[in-house]
């Protein structure tokens, strides 16, 4: 089971954090800080695995962004790399050649996609198509609500999702 | 901002004749516009999420960023107070961004719950996202979400159900799990695959949190494997895996699904290309790996189940494309399964060969995995792993710490009697260049391996000395004592050899000034040279070959004075630890009986005397004590500083090590733990780290020890020597300590008699003293008796512990507790070691202002033959005269 997933930049800025274990906020921050430092200190030629406390850290760098998962001892490290890759592929499909800025400005979308791929720390869907379908359908639901509201001539809050493409 | 140009208020004409009148503006519109304007002034439109992100990113300094964030947070807080529901969703989204930057956002928790309760999907989506990020199961707020979840789990919209399941899966606390388990169970049976798969994983998390809830999910679980949808299949397999690991009964229950799993796996590898699940030519590796793992759990220790999966494992192992990471992922999992179940031997050979290929792979990740797996399988088939020894040793030089760590552990697992020499050579050079974090573990493991497989005593000593040299201060303390034990039990010519080798190292590090980095080495060297210094400087040492591994013999026999000079240099160093200096000082004292020339003797004496005024009390005491051996007690010196008898190896040692060596996961925990026990046992046997004199003297109990434990009798001797021995009323301290011997104020001579008899009255039976005594404890040869005395409100109890056991009780600790109405004052005990027929006394003063019946609870702990013992008792049989 995945205990948590962190996305952070080469500069050490956190871009996404998903926790599947209950830790107090303070501990989460401590773990994040320590882990970012440790991973960033590793050289590019080194392997993607790191034994860290009682978890196995599996990380991979895509362009300027590090994807970093904490797995339990029984988990398959190589498969975790595939999982990270799958997530990147999904982001790429969704945003159209994704870059760090897409994830910064649309972090909630990145969370939504992750939530359709992984649930409770385990993979829930192995088909890319199904994940993207579910995301598209939910985005549509949101848009419908916006259109409905506009038709009813109500005060329409400019939803945070309206300003796409502003990244 | 378009204000209506409408001047009806000041036009005298009726509206229809007013040319400037615009019929589009009626009163209602005007009111609305005005209200909006006011509203906008009062509550401006909140910054958009993307604008905020842009603002924050534009901040050039941390302070600037903080000020943007603080301003926005203050604004968001104010909207939360105003119950403004229109912008809540946007505000929470902003807050989540701010939270990711590391700022506090807990004040958004309740707002998330409000969003979740909203009927709008957008609100729910953001609300649940916020709940997953902000809620903490340590706070009660998270329980408020349970009701919302329950409602949404019953929603008609699959995506709303999906959101609720996703949130439950991420943050389910035990309470939530209990409350919502039945809803989840119902949803597993849903015909909708989207909901089914999420519910299955939710059930997985619920069982993780509350294993008791597993039963209720069992019926719904099995049918998950009959589905075609891969999402449902993989979540089903995950759920079953968790259940099987949870209880052996469930494991048996699921044995019958082995054929189903085999069939699914077979379909996956035989089916043609399916674009939906293909990953670089491999069909759904995620599902394959999960099934392989479940098969491993089901086939473990079960011949029948293993038989049923042999074929498919062989098929997977041979048919999987290995040019990409995916293929290797599956092979890795397959190898683990093959090694874990009762598989055919041909299959095992296949698996080990796969790992051999992995080890040679260019990809670091694959090499890491190979080492990891070999470590797990080394106990199953050592000889197969041995074939890859060279490659594994090569990995010790890898620049990657993860790989080095694995290679090191694997190397230790591979050491045996045949390869110990070559392996140790590699490991020694590894130890030399390894990082600090490895040194402790590596050196301990090397010491154990050397002890176990040493081909000769000389080799063993050489290896230990090299480890001492290379591990420096990272060496664990127990290694020092175990090395000393080995040296002390070696043959005499080996001891001379050891002294010479260690002298070379000691001299080299003293001269180069790196002795502070190698204190364990200095300690071992000091002890050895102290014991066998005469062999070091004697002519006989010429006969001993000092050719080292490079074939060079560069040993130069030192002069006695030179040895002393080096000692002085080290003792004068400010950076050596007190512990190391204690070793050195005592060793120096020993050398005074080993060396013969007058100049060296004089030097030793001068050095020892200077320690009589050392700033550290422990060293000062040693200095004073040892210098006494030059003065009043000079006649005792040769006997006192004799060579120590050979130390025995601790009996428990080898067994404990055997266990840890066979342990397949030679994890950090076990070696950490076991050598400590060895060390404890050793410490009992030989000089402890800080009780050098004591340990030494223990071997010659006949000598009056320059004892360093502040035993009461010594204190009193000091006290009395200052007194004029006039019959004064004994002070309290004296009274307490003497109460056994001298009950009442007595003439000084009597007092003295009592005192000087003190060492002798070890054998005096307690009953001879004419005082009321109370027996508190009599168990296993240990007898604890209280001598009782009363003075006003104060009761003085003298605890005497005597032992009739055959072994010495060490670490003797006596504790006592009284009810609250009493006050207890305990003096320090006369000692912590209770020899057979010996005695320990300790005085307890109890104040009893209420004069109630005295009750006492006592606890006694001690070690006998290394086994800790704890006794407790309650004592209430005190004579009534004591308290009324």
Torsion sign over Cα A125, A129, A135, A138: negative
Q: Give the CA distances from residue B318 to residues A69, B285, B339, in Å, rounded to whole numbers and listed in that order.
A: 30, 15, 16
Residue B330 — φ and ψ, nearest 5°? Answer: -70, -40
- The residue among B758 and A28 whose pLDDT is bigger is A28
Q: Does A41 touch chain B (CB under 8 A)?
A: no
Kind and range of the H or E run holding B572 = helix B560-572
Could you give the CA distance from residue B295 to residue B338 in angstroms, rounded to a whole number? 10
CA distance A118 to A7: 15
CB contact under 8 A, B238 and A141: no
Mutate to test the interface with A, among B46, B105, B164, B169 (most CBs of A within 10 A): B169
Q: B202 CB near a chain A CB, below 8 Å?
A: yes
What is the interface size between A and B, counted as CB pairs within 8 Å? 189
Question: How many residues in total does chain A contain?
Answer: 167
Q: Annotate B222-234 with b (16+ C-beta within 10 A) or e (fewer).
A: eebbeeebbbbbb
Q: Which of A19, A124, A147, A162 would best serve as a mutation to test chain B binding (most B beta carbons within 10 A)?
A: A124
The answer, for B170 touching chain A at a CB cutoff of 8 Å, is yes
Q: Nearest-CA residue of chain B relative to A141?
A: B121
DSSP string covering B3-34, please?
-----TTT--S-GGG-TT--TT--HHHHHHHH
- Record the tokens describing residue B851, joined without a space: 């004069």
Q: Which of B681, B664, B673 is nearest to B476 (CA)?
A: B673
pLDDT score of B385 = 82
- Cβ under 8 Å to B: A residues 79-118: 79, 81-83, 86, 104-105, 107-108, 111-112, 115
Contact B231 A126 (CB under 8 A): yes
Rounded-to-integer distance, Cα A69 and Cα A56, Å: 8
Instruction: Tell me the HSE value of B721 on the side-chain side, using a 13 A CA sphere.
Output: 7
B88 lies within 8 A of chain A by CB: no
Place of tokens 């809050």: A157
Alpha-carbon distance of B95 to B98, in angstroms, equals 5
ipTM: 0.93
Give the Cα separation of B620 and A97 in Å (integer). 75
Residues of chain B where predicted confidence (pLDDT) is lower than 50: 1-11, 652-770
Helix (H) / strand (E) containing A67: strand A65-71
- How far apart are alpha carbons B438 and B816 in whole angstroms? 45
Query: What are the E-state strand segments in B246-345?
Result: 278-279, 282-283
Handedness of CA A104, A110, A114, A115 (dihedral sign): positive
Q: How many CB atoms neighbour CB B185 within 10 A?
A: 20
Alpha-carbon distance of B293 to B297, in angstroms, equals: 6
Residues of B in contact with A166 (CB under 8 A): 50, 54
Q: Do B328 and A20 touch (CB under 8 A)?
A: no
User: For residue B399, what is the nearest residue in chain A, using CA coordinates?
Assistant: A46
Phi-psi region of B9 (alpha: psi -120 to 50; beta: other; left: phi over 0): alpha
The C-alpha of B470 sits at a distance from chain A's nearest C-alpha, in angstroms, of 25
User: Residue A144 — pLDDT band, cuts 50, 70, 90?
Assistant: confident
Q: How far is B439 from chain A (nearest CA, A)?
A: 17
Q: What angle do CA B666, B670, B675 make, to 5 degrees?
A: 120
B174 — phi, psi (to 5°)? -55, -40
Q: What is the token pair recorded at B250?
A: 């469930």
- The confidence score (pLDDT) of residue B665 equals 40
CA angle B332, B335, B336 (to 5 degrees): 90
Kindly determine whether residue A128 and residue B276, on different chains, have CB atoms separated by under 8 Å. yes
What per-residue confidence (pLDDT) applies to B480? 87
Mean pLDDT of chain A: 88
> How far is B837 from B842, CA to CA, in rounded Å?
17
d(CA B743, CA B734): 11
* pLDDT on residue A59: 96
Q: Which residue has the tokens 């050289």?
A: A43
Residues 6+ apart with CB under 8 A from A27: none
* B residues 175-194 lying closer than 8 A (beta carbon) to A: 194
């Amino acid at each position: 089971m995945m205990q948590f997933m962190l996305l952070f930049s080469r500069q050490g800025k956190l871009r996404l954090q998903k926790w599947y274990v209950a830790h107090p906020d303070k501990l989460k921050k401590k773990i994040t800080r320590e882990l970012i430092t440790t991973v960033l200190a590793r050289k590019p030629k080194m392997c993607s695995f790191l034994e860290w406390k009682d978890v196995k850290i599996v990380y991979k760098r895509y362009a300027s962004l590090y994807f970093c998962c904490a797995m339990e001892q029984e988990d398959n490290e190589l498969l975790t790399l595939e999982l990270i890759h799958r997530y990147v592929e999904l982001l790429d499909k969704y945003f159209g050649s994704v870059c760090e800025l897409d994830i910064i400005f649309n972090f909630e979308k990145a969370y939504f996609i992750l939530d359709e791929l992984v649930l409770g720390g385990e993979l829930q869907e192995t088909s890319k198509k199904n994940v993207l379908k579910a995301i598209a359908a939910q985005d549509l639901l949101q848009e419908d609500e916006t259109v409905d509201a506009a038709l009813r001539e109500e005060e329409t809050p400019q939803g945070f999702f309206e300003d796409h493409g502003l990244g | 901002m378009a204000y209506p140009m409408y001047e009806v208020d000041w036009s005298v004409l009726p509206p229809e004749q007013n040319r400037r009148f615009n019929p589009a503006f009626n009163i209602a519109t005007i009111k609305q516009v005005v209200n909006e304007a006011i509203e906008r002034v009062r509550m401006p439109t909140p910054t958009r999420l993307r604008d905020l992100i842009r603002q924050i990113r534009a901040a050039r300094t941390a302070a600037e960023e903080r000020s943007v964030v603080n301003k926005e947070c203050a604004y968001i807080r104010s909207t939360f107070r105003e119950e403004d529901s229109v912008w809540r969703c946007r505000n929470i989204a902003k807050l989540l961004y701010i939270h990711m930057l590391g700022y506090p956002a807990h004040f958004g928790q309740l707002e998330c719950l409000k969003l979740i309760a909203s009927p709008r999907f957008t609100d729910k989506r953001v609300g649940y996202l916020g709940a997953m990020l902000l809620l903490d199961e340590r706070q009660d707020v998270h329980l408020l979400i349970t009701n919302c979840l329950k409602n949404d789990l019953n929603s008609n919209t699959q995506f709303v159900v999906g959101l609720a399941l996703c949130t439950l899966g991420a943050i389910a606390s035990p309470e939530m799990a209990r409350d919502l388990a039945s809803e989840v169970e119902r949803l597993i049976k849903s015909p909708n695959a989207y909901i089914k798969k999420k519910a299955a994983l939710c059930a997985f998390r619920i069982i993780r949190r509350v294993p008791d809830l597993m039963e209720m999910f069992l019926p719904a679980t099995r049918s998950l494997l009959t589905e075609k949808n891969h999402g449902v299949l993989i979540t089903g397999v995950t759920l079953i895996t968790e259940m099987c690991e949870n209880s052996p009964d469930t494991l048996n229950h699921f044995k019958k699904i082995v054929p189903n799993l085999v069939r699914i796996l077979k379909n996956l590898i035989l089916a043609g290309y399916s674009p939906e699940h293909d990953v670089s030519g491999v069909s759904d590796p995620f599902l394959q790996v999960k099934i392989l793992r479940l098969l491993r759990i089901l086939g473990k220790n079960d011949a029948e189940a293993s038989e049923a999966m042999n074929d498919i494992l062989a098929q997977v192992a041979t048919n999987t494309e290995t040019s990409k990471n995916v293929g290797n992922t599956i092979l890795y999992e397959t190898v683990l399964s093959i090694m874990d179940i009762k598989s055919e031997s041909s299959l095992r050979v296949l698996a080990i060969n796969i790992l051999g290929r992995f080890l040679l792979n260019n990809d670091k990740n694959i090499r890491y995995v190979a080492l990891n797996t070999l470590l797990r399988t080394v106990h199953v088939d050592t000889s197969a792993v041995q074939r890859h020894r060279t490659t594994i040793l090569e990995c010790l030089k890898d620049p990657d710490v993860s790989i080095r760590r694995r290679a090191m552990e694997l190397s230790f697992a591979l050491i045996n009697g045949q390869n110990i020499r070559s392996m140790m050579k590699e490991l020694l050079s590894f130890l030399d260049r390894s990082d600090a974090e490895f040194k402790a573990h590596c050196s301990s493991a090397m010491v154990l391996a050397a002890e176990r497989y040493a081909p000769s005593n000389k080799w063993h000593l050489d290896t230990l000395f090299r480890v001492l040299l290379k591990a420096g201060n990272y060496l664990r303390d127990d290694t020092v004592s175990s090395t000393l034990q080995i040296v002390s039990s070696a043959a005499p010519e080996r001891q001379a050899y050891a002294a010479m080798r260690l002298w070379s190292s000691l001299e080299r590090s003293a001269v180069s000034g790196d002795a502070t980095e190698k204190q364990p080495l200095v300690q071992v060297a000091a002890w050895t040279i102290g014991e066998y210094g005469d062999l070091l400087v004697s002519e006989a040492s010429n006969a001993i070959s000092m050719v080292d591994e490079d074939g060079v013999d560069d040993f130069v026999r030192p002069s006695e004075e030179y040895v002393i000079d080096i000692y002085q240099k080290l003792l004068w160093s400010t950076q050596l630890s007190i512990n190391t200096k204690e070793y050195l000082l005592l060793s120096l004292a020993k050398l005074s009986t080993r060396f013969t020339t007058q100049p060296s003797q004089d030097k030793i004496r001068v050095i020892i005397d200077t320690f009589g005024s050392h700033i550290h009390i422990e060293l000062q005491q040693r200095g004073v004590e040892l210098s006494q051996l030059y003065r009043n007690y000079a006649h005792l010196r040769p006997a006192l500083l004799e060579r120590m008898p050979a130390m025995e190896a601790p009996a428990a040692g080898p067994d404990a090590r055997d266990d840890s060596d066979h342990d397949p996961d030679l994890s950090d925990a076990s070696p950490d733990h076991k050598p400590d026990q060895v060390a404890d046992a050793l410490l009992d046997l030989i000089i402890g780290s800080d009780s050098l004199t004591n340990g030494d003297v223990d071997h010659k109990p006949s000598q009056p020890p320059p004892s360093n434990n502040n035993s009461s009798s010594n204190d009193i001797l000091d006290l009395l020597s200052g007194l004029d021995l006039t019959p004064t009323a004994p002070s309290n301290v004296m009274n307490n300590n003497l109460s056994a011997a001298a009950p009442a104020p007595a003439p000084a001579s009597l007092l003295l008699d009592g005192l000087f008899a003190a060492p002798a009255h070890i054998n005096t039976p307690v009953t001879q003293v004419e005082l009321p005594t109370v027996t508190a404890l009599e168990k296993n040869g240990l007898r604890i008796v209280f001598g009782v005395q009363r003075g006003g409100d104060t009761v003085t109890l003298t605890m005497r512990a005597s032992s009739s056991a055959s072994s010495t009780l060490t670490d003797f600790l006596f504790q006592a507790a009284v009810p609250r109405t009493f006050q207890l004052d305990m003096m320090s005990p006369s000692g912590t070691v209770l020899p057979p027929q010996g005695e320990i006394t300790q005085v307890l003063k109890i104040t009893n202002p209420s004069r109630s019946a005295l009750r006492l609870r006592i606890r006694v702990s001690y070690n006998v033959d290394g086994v800790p013992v704890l006794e407790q008792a309650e004592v209430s049989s005190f004579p009534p005269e004591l308290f009324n």
